[in-house]
């Protein structure tokens, strides 16, 4: 997706005062310390191992790295991860 | 939450595990606690979701195995044949609960002259009988009615404890214990001593101030002589002796304290158990089995409220035994004196409570190798009044 197109959408969301996660389809991440992470607005799970979890969102891939990673809750809208989180990468 | 109902723990083996999870999420199947166990993945799901997974399992070609079944549904299923038992147990408790709203026992305490039959007959006439709802008993009204009916009752307390109606009664003993008019009463000495003061309100004084009296000697006689016109005695009237006689006497004091004593050292060994009692009888247990050679015994009642309400005589106790052994120790001189002084003060206090006035104290503490002694005498004064009268 082009940068220009994204900026346009962002502008519309700003003007109309609409939530960006709906307009842009952006994921919402809630991180609690380095132990818990909650992801909303994602597409699917691409990879799961104890050291790395890769999640496909609308425009990006999010990879959560760490050790002893466990998926505590996995539904259509919500994904909750526990473990020792060392990094979150957007690709 | 999944733990409310039945849930399963499944093991997943296969290559397309991520695809399996995505398809589950797409079909609104919630997955909980996905974690690795060696090569396999363990997942918790709701039991009802297992049937929805069938097609997904086929599609993704994974191997699925149920590891554990948990929840109320599976527990009940495992107890398939005990259902009736649990149902009976539940209905039993329900029945107990219902029964706890009715009167099943009447307890009458403190009655000496009024028989239980007499009182329960009156209660029946008042509409208080076994099996009636507890809420229909008007306690205050019942108290008033009983007092009206039985004039001998000076005090009454009606209370409801569990399913028991408790009537605590105090009867008028003084009327009952009153002696006939012609019964003779005298005033006697309580201790050996010297009469200090004498004041006669009724009767005839037998002793005078300064007389030495012994315990049990007559002080004031209840006999009153009525003089005749010629100076003689017309007749003797028997009455109750009344008056105050102050007697001074000495009280010997001897308190011995052995210097060596045994003290309890707790080993830290403890044993706890539960005991069921019905009317002071222990159920299903032999008390003669002592857990330790020497031990302290503590008990605490832990009967649940519902049992207390319905079966007040059935009690559950928590028992604790603490083992100890005895170790011989010796009092220091200071400690020994402290204990003896304390004992001496107790003696003084008990004498004062009896109405004895202490005039002089003459005591000393002596020590030998074995014991400490507090010896001496107290000079005391006591006023003997009508209440000390002994009936002849």
- pLDDT digit string (tens) for B320-332? 889 999 988 888 8
Structural domain ending residue among the three candidates B146, B176, B206:
B176
The total number of structural domains in chain B stands at 5
Looking at residue B391, its pLDDT comes to: 42
DSSP per position, B43-65: EEEETTHHHHHHHHHHHHT-EEE
**Alpha-carbon distance B305 to B312, whole Å?**
10
Does residue B45 belong to any structural domain of this protein?
yes
**Alpha-carbon distance A39 to A77, whole Å?**
8
Give the DSSP letter of residue B136: G
Contacts across the A-B interface (CB distance below 8 Å): 44
Task: Give the one of A44, A50, A72 whose C-beta lies nearest to B32's C-beta.
Answer: A72
Structural domain ending residue among the three candidates B176, B193, B212:
B176
Looking at residue B387, its pLDDT comes to: 58
Flag whether pLDDT at B389 surpasses 50: no
**Alpha-carbon distance B200 to B214, whole Å?**
19
Distance of CA B35 to the CA centre of its chain: 56
Q: CB neighbours (10 Å) of residue B310?
A: 20
Does residue B148 belong to any structural domain of this protein?
yes
Phi, psi of B53 (to 5 degrees): -80, -20
* Domain that residue B237 falls in: 185-245
Share of chain B above pLDDT 90, in %: 12
Q: SS3 for B85?
A: helix
Residues B166 and B192 in one domain: no
Looking at residue A45, its pLDDT comes to: 93
User: Which residues in chain A have their CB less than 8 angstroms from residue B31's CB?
Assistant: 71, 73-75
Does residue B164 belong to any structural domain of this protein?
yes
Most confident of A6-15, B61-70, B224-233: B61-70
Does residue B143 belong to any structural domain of this protein?
yes
Does residue B343 belong to any structural domain of this protein?
yes
DSSP H stretches of helix in chain B: 17-26, 49-60, 72-78, 83-99, 116-125, 139-149, 173-177, 305-310, 333-353
**Alpha-carbon distance B217 to B249, whole Å?**
14
Residues B159 and B134 in one domain: yes
Q: CB neighbours (10 Å) of residue B359?
A: 12
Are the C-beta atoms of B164 and B312 separated by less than 8 Å?
yes
Q: Inter-chain contact B24–A45, Cβ cutoff 8 Å?
A: no
Flag whether pLDDT at A20 surpasses 80: no
Q: Does B298 touch chain A if contact means CB atoms closer than 8 Å?
A: no
| B118-140: average pLDDT | 88
| A28-51: average pLDDT | 93
Minimal CA separation from A79 to chain B, in Å? 10
How confident is residue B182, by pLDDT bands cut at 50, 70 and 90?
A: very low
Looking at residue B178, its pLDDT comes to: 55
Mean pLDDT score across all residues of chain B: 84
Does residue B14 belong to any structural domain of this protein?
yes
Flag whether pLDDT at B137 surpasses 50: yes
Looking at residue A37, its pLDDT comes to: 95
**Alpha-carbon distance B304 to A81, whole Å?**
45
Q: CB neighbours (10 Å) of residue B10?
A: 20
How confident is residue B195, by pLDDT bands cut at 50, 70 and 90?
A: confident
Residues 7-36 of B with CB under 8 A from A: 17-18, 21-22, 24-26, 28, 30-36
Does residue B144 belong to any structural domain of this protein?
yes
Q: Which residue from B143, B179, B173 is spatially nearest to B158, judged by alpha carbons? A: B143
Residues B65 and B8 in one domain: yes
Helical packing angle, B49-60 and B17-26, nearest 10°: 140
How confident is residue B392, by pLDDT bands cut at 50, 70 and 90?
A: very low
Are the C-beta atoms of B138 and B83 separated by less than 8 Å?
no
Tens-digit pLDDT profile for residues B297-309: 888 888 887 787 7
* B140/B239: higher pLDDT: B140
Residues B112 and B171 in one domain: yes
pTM of the model: 0.39
Tens-digit pLDDT profile for residues B3-56: 557 889 999 998 888 999 999 999 999 999 999 988 899 999 998 889 889 899
Q: Inter-chain contact B31–A71, Cβ cutoff 8 Å?
A: yes
Give the end-to-end CA distance of chain B in Å, rounded to a whole number.
Answer: 86
Residues B168 and B119 in one domain: yes
Does residue B110 belong to any structural domain of this protein?
yes
Q: SS3 for B91?
A: helix
Q: Does B385 touch chain A if contact means CB atoms closer than 8 Å?
A: no
For residue B68, give the CATH number of its domain. 3.30.70.260
Structural domain ending residue among the three candidates B324, B341, B360:
B324
How confident is residue B360, by pLDDT bands cut at 50, 70 and 90?
A: confident
The Cα-based distances of B145 to A23, B125, B127, B148, B151 in angstroms read: 83, 11, 12, 5, 11
**Alpha-carbon distance B108 to B169, whole Å?**
8
| B375-381: average pLDDT | 87
Residues B6 and B72 in one domain: yes
**Alpha-carbon distance B277 to B159, whole Å?**
24
Residues B310 and B340 in one domain: no
How confident is residue B242, by pLDDT bands cut at 50, 70 and 90?
A: confident
Residues B9 and B69 in one domain: yes
DSSP H stretches of helix in B299-357: 305-310, 333-353
């Amino acid at each position: 997706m082009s940068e220009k197109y994204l900026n346009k959408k962002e502008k519309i969301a700003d003007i109309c005062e609409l939530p960006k996660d709906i307009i842009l389809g952006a994921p919402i991440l809630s991180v609690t310390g380095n132990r818990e992470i909650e992801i909303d607005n994602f597409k699917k799970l691409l990879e799961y191992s104890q050291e790395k979890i890769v999640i496909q969102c609308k425009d990006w891939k999010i990879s959560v790295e760490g050790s002893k990673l466990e998926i505590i809750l996995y539904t259509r809208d919500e994904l909750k991860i526990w473990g020792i989180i060392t990094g979150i990468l957007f690709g | 939450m999944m733990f409310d109902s039945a849930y399963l723990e499944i093991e997943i083996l296969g290559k397309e595990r991520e695809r399996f999870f995505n398809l589950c999420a797409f079909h609104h199947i919630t997955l909980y606690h996905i974690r690795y166990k060696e090569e396999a993945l363990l997942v918790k799901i709701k039991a009802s979701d297992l049937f929805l997974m069938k097609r997904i399992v086929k599609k993704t070609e994974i191997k699925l195995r149920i590891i554990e079944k948990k929840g109320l549904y599976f527990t009940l299923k495992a107890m398939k044949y005990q259902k009736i038992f649990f149902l009976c147990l539940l209905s039993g408790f329900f029945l107990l609960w219902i029964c706890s709203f009715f009167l099943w026992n009447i307890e009458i305490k403190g009655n000496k002259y009024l028989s239980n039959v007499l009182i329960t007959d009156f209660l029946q006439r008042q509409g208080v009988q076994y099996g009636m709802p507890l809420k229909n008993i008007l306690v205050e009204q019942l108290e008033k009615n009983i007092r009206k009916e039985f004039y001998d009752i000076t005090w009454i307390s009606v209370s409801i404890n569990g399913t028991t109606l408790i009537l605590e009664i105090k009867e008028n003993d003084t009327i009952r214990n009153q002696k006939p008019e012609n019964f003779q009463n005298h005033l006697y000495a309580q201790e050996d001593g010297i009469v200090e003061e004498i004041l006669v309100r009724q009767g005839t004084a037998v002793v005078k101030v300064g007389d030495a009296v012994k315990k049990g000697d007559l002080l004031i006689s209840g006999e009153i002589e009525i003089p005749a016109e010629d100076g003689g005695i017309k007749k003797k009237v028997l009455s109750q002796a009344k008056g105050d006689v102050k007697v001074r006497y000495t009280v010997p004091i001897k308190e011995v304290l052995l210097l060596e004593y045994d003290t309890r050292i707790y080993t830290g060994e403890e044993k706890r158990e539960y005991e069921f009692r019905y009317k002071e009888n222990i159920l299903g247990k032999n008390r003669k089995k002592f857990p330790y050679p020497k031990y302290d015994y503590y008990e605490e009642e832990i009967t649940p409220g519902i049992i207390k309400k319905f079966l007040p005589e059935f009690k559950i106790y928590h028992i604790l035994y603490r083992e100890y052994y005895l170790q011989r120790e010796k009092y220091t001189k200071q400690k020994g004196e402290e204990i003896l002084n304390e004992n001496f003060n107790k003696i003084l206090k008990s004498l004062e409570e009896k109405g004895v006035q202490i005039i002089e104290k003459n005591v000393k503490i002596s020590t030998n190798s074995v014991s400490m002694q507090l010896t001496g005498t107290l000079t005391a004064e006591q006023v003997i009044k009508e209440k000390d009268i002994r009936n002849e």
